Amino acid sequence: MRIRCVFVAAAPLKRMEYQPGVCNIGPAQQRRRLLLGVGSLLLAVVAVGAIVATELPRWTLFLSLFPLYGAAMGYFQYRERFCVGFAGIGVFDVGDGTNQVQDAEALAADRRRAVRLNAKSLAVGVIGAAVIYGALPALL
């Protein structure tokens, strides 16, 4: 079962509510995370292209792990409306400015979620780098 952020009707705009372990960023912060993801993905493409063009050793293709991790992290934070960094420092921003998480249980829930998102993003980065390492030489 997936729990999503809820929008609360407010005249005339809708706003989001902070939900511990579920949602800690609003639309403006989501856009920033999406830009991080897109920028990191473009960096990965440029890095792989540069490695291939300069004929660096094949193992250097594994360096694409880092921008691929950033791309996955940006995308997952955007999609899940949850910022790993905010969870780490104990804040949230759902549209009305940055606020401190006051409840210890809420902070613990946020940090557990952050660990899961980090692990998922790292897995995507590792798999992506392995695919690039394995598939790219066969394509060239």
DSSP 8-state code for residue 21:
T
pLDDT tens by residue, the chain, 140 residues: 455 555 444 434 556 899 999 999 999 999 999 999 999 999 999 999 999 999 999 999 999 999 999 999 999 999 999 999 999 999 999 998 999 999 999 999 999 999 999 999 999 999 999 999 999 777 66
12-31 per-residue burial string, b: 16 or more CB within 10 A, e: under 16? eeeebebbbbbbbbbeebbe
CB atoms within 10 A of CB 116: 15
47 touches 41 (CB < 8 A): no
Q: pTM for the full model?
A: 0.86
Q: Tell me how far apart the alpha carbons of residues 33 and 36 are, in angstroms, rounded to a whole number.
A: 5
